[in-house]
Amino acid sequence: MRAVKLYARGDFRLVEMERPVAGPGEVLIQVKEVGICASDVHWYENGHIGDAVMTEPLILGHEFAGVIAEVGPGVTNVKAGDRVAVEPGIPCYRCDICAEGGYNICPNVRFCGTPPTDGAFREFLSWPARLVEPIPDSMSIGEAAMLEPLAIGVYAIDIAGDVRGKTIGVLGVGAIGLSILQAARAAGCGETFVTDPIPERLELARRLGAARTLDARDPKVVDAVGQATGGRGLEIVFEAAGENEAVFQATEMVRPGGLVILGGIPSDDRIVLGAGAVRRKGLTIRLLRRSKDTLRRAIRLVQEGRADVASYITHRFPLEQLDKAFQLARDRKDGALRVLVYM
């Protein structure tokens, strides 16, 4: 089978590999489409994310969907021919954290496309059957690949708690930020404010229901939120930009006693908080780490028409042009939001 491996920073190579088989409790997935996430771009650009370092060639890609090619012994939840979405993290299910339900923060997790676990930029891969979900006939394979960021958005609202009627801010409206926005609206939040430096993303956020859209580069963006809320500030702010300036803005925009949820990945692996605002306001700061048991709910939101993930997809490239696809995703040119790669 064909696959593309990252050998070093910016060095993709198309290779031939042996097709895997489905072991006990596993399925063999014929990969159809894979999204390029910002974390994939981090690996491509830097060869590491924080203290996780690539030490040997790696297949990237964790936002993917495909068709079951075969099932291994003991698999009963899906069958060959089923179209499926995939939960990309394999927790150990044995540690204390897993026993407490913290699958997304399992210290032994094997995450698709993160060393040492190869990802989905290949024609076939085997995966635990318990981590795949059939998708309805009404859903395209591309939409199914975009369920991974939507599941993160749903989990972000789980962390936030009851958002009904509350004023919400989302800083950074890539696929994760847009997913948080849509999940918050589906949960009945109040007025929504979003910021981003890219006009096309702000326009899409408006189409997806954002009440107010603001240019993140405007030096008066925090003042604008304050004026729009009568000086009260926002009740909950989600940061999904991966920039420390957005972290600072989040703590300035939120009201005293409010909640800030940080989900971005800063390029230097450091989150910097303005201690004065955080202490003076008595803020609660929480961190968003992937998703947790939210894939099925993400499927329902799309199926019921309460979330639109097809709109995230702006470009498609064949596997052979993966390097070109990554450059576009990295540079965010031509209105690129989610670049998909097809087999």
Which pLDDT score, from 0 to 100, does residue 136 have?
Answer: 97
pLDDT at 272 over 90: no
Convert the pLDDT of each residue in 126-139 to its tens digit: 999 999 999 999 99
Q: Is the pLDDT assigned to residue 265 strictly greater than 90?
A: no
pLDDT above 90 for 267:
no
Q: What is the mean pLDDT of residues 189-204?
A: 97
Fold assignment, 2-146+309-342: Quinone Oxidoreductase; Chain A, domain 1 (3.90.180)
Note the pLDDT of residue 39. 92
Q: Helix, strand or coil for residue 109? A: coil
Which residue has tokens 């498609």? Answer: 316
* pLDDT for the residue 99: 96
**Higher-scoring residue by pLDDT: 1, 275:** 1
User: What is the percent of the chain with per-residue pLDDT over 70, rounded to a whole number?
Assistant: 100
For 205-219, the pLDDT digits (tens) are 999 999 999 999 999
CA-wise closest residue to 294 among 307, 310, 312, 284: 307
Looking at domain 150-287, which CATH architecture does it have?
3-Layer(aba) Sandwich (3.40)
Domains 2-146+309-342 and 150-287 share a fold: no
pTM greater than 0.85: yes
Hey, is 214 helix, strand or coil? strand
pLDDT at 111 over 90: yes
Burial 89-114 (b: 16+ CB within 10 A, else e): bbbeeeeebbeeeebbebeebebbbb
Instruction: Look at residue 203 in the predicted model and tell me its pLDDT.
Output: 97
For the chain, what is the mean pLDDT? 96
CA–CA gap between residue 222 and residue 234 (Å, rounded): 11
Q: What's the pLDDT at 276?
A: 87
Burial environment of residue 290 by CB neighbours within 10 A (0 to 12, 13 to 18, 19 or more) = buried
**Res. 266: pLDDT tops 90:** no
Identity (one letter) of the amino acid at 294? T
Q: What is the mean pLDDT of residues 152-179?
A: 98
What is the DSSP code (8-state) at residue 219? T
Tokens standing for 163? 């958002």
Per-residue pLDDT averaged across 269-283, rounded?
A: 90
For residue 109, how many C-alpha atoms fall within 13 Å in the half-sphere facing its CB? 22
Q: What is the mean pLDDT of residues 268-295?
A: 92
Q: Calculate the alpha carbon distances from 78 to 27, 84, 225, 300, 338 in Å.
A: 8, 9, 48, 18, 28
Mean pLDDT of 320-332: 96
Ranges of each domain in the chain: 2-146+309-342, 150-287
Percent of the chain with pLDDT over 90: 94
